[in-house]
Amino acid sequence: MENMYGIKYSQPEVVLLQDTGIGVAETAARTCYDSFSNSENGVINYIEENMPDAEMRDEINDIEESNLLGDLAWTYFHHSILEHANLSFLVRGTSRGVLQEHARHRIQAISVRSTRYTMSSIINAFVAAQGDKEFFIEKILSFDMFVTCDNDYNKLEISAIFDKLAYQQTKVENFDDIAIAKSSLIFLQEFKANSQAMFEALQTGKKKRNVGDAFKHIITDNVKVDMVVTFNLRSLKNYFTLRDSGAAYFQIRWLAQEMMRVTPTKYLNLIVKKK
């Protein structure tokens, strides 16, 4: 997809991993008002005088509609009861730039692909290149690691990564020691005449632990990241309101729209105004 600035970007992929249902939220609301007998859901009626067993718990979690939740969400704005419903999303292919926007949403659980532990392939490509910038560029280009889709632009990004690593290489005496595992140092001599063979050997060898600690500075906000993010329904309402807006940063707007697309209707009815 092309943004308003003329640059083509890939879009993130989103899958809903789990959702806890709206039944617990209705149970919470009925507890507030002591109105279990007024529910259109029979299993909620039963709770007035009985504690639910395991089978009833499943029925509660399978509830698809609640008139009370609709009234509280849209007429009385009693949104705290929405905090009892949670949704978890697997996101692939958003950008590090989006992470900065996500950090502004305080109430969420987020686990992100770590640069500390997942940069080995980039560093292995640089070591194996042995100064051959074109080898490095073509190897990194094959990783599909940027949200931008223009190869010429991405080559500029990769060239800058190479230059940063080459500069750092001049500043430390033990570059190879901080770049690859001790057991892989032998490959530097064994495959000195063959960059591709050296790269493959480094890839199959032991990975340097926390290699990203020394090299996080080489990547930009354009790099793809994957994450799992969990919102309670009240926080998701806030997220969609702010991020599915023309004023939002375009990449997080795309992400919000994909998250909304995979969110079941029973939740959207409580948090997104119908157009």
Question: What is the mean pLDDT of the segment spanning 22-31?
Answer: 96
Strand order in the sheet with 224-232: 13-19, 86-95, 224-232, 109-112
Helix axes 151-171, 120-129, angle to 10 degrees: 80
The pLDDT tens digits of the residues spanning 154-187 come to 999 999 999 999 999 999 999 999 999 999 999 9
Task: Return the amino acid letter for 127.
Answer: V
Q: Hey, which residues does 232 pair with through a beta bridge?
A: 86
Mean pLDDT of 184-201: 96
**Does position 273 have pLDDT exceeding 90, yes or no?**
no
**Which residue type does 175 have?**
F
Q: How far apart are CA 103 and CA 215, in angstroms?
A: 22
pTM tops 0.85: yes
What average pLDDT is seen over the chain? 94
Enumerate the domain spans of the chain: 14-113+233-271, 120-218
Task: Give the span between the Cα atoms of 115 and 93, in whole angstroms.
Answer: 14
Structure tokens given for 7: 């640059």
Domain at 14-113+233-271: CATH architecture: 2-Layer Sandwich (3.30)
**CA within 13 Å, CB half, 156:** 6
239-255 pLDDT per residue, tens = 999 999 999 999 999 99
Cβ atoms of 78 and 29 within 8 Å: the answer is yes
Name residue, tokens 């591709």.
196
